[in-house]
Amino acid sequence: MTVRSAHGLTEPGGARAGARGMLRLFARLAYPVVILCAWRWHSPRFVGLLLLALLWMQRMSSTGPLAATLRKLTPVDWAVAVTLNVASVAIVFTNSDLLMRLYPSLVNLGLLVAFGATLLKGPSMVEKFARLTYADPPAHIVRYTRRVTQLWCVFFAVNCVFSAWTALAWSARAWSLYNGAIAYAIIGALLAGEFAWRRWIMLPRAARREAV
pTM: 0.86
Report the 10 Å Cβ neighbour count for 101.
Answer: 25
Q: Can you give the pLDDT at residue 88?
A: 97
CB < 8 Å & 24+ apart, contacts of 161-165: 161/105, 163/104, 163/105, 163/108, 164/102, 164/105
- Amino acid sitting at position 164: A
Q: Which residues of 39-62 are buried (b: 16+ CB within 10 A; e: fewer)?
A: beeeebebbbebbbebbeebbebb
pLDDT, average across residues 130-142: 85
Distances (CA, A) of 103 to 32, 134, 135, 148, 179: 12, 35, 36, 25, 10
Tens digits of per-residue pLDDT, 88-111?
Answer: 999 999 999 999 999 999 999 999
- Amino acid sitting at position 204: P
Q: Is the pLDDT of residue 68 over 70?
A: no
- Do you know the residue count of the chain? 212
What distance in Å separates the CA atoms of residue 110 and residue 81, rounded to the nearest whole number?
Answer: 8
Question: How is 170-191 classified by DSSP, letter by letter?
Answer: S-HHHHHHIIIIIHHHHHHHHH
Q: Is the pLDDT of residue 11 over 70?
A: no
- Amino acid sitting at position 47: V
CB-based contact 180:37 (threshold 8 Å)? yes
CB-based contact 26:16 (threshold 8 Å)? no
Q: Predicted confidence band at 62 (pLDDT cuts at 50, 70, 90)?
A: low
Q: Can you give the pLDDT at residue 9?
A: 45
Higher pLDDT among residues 137 and 195, named by residue: 195
Angle between helices 75-94 and 97-121 (to 10 degrees): 180
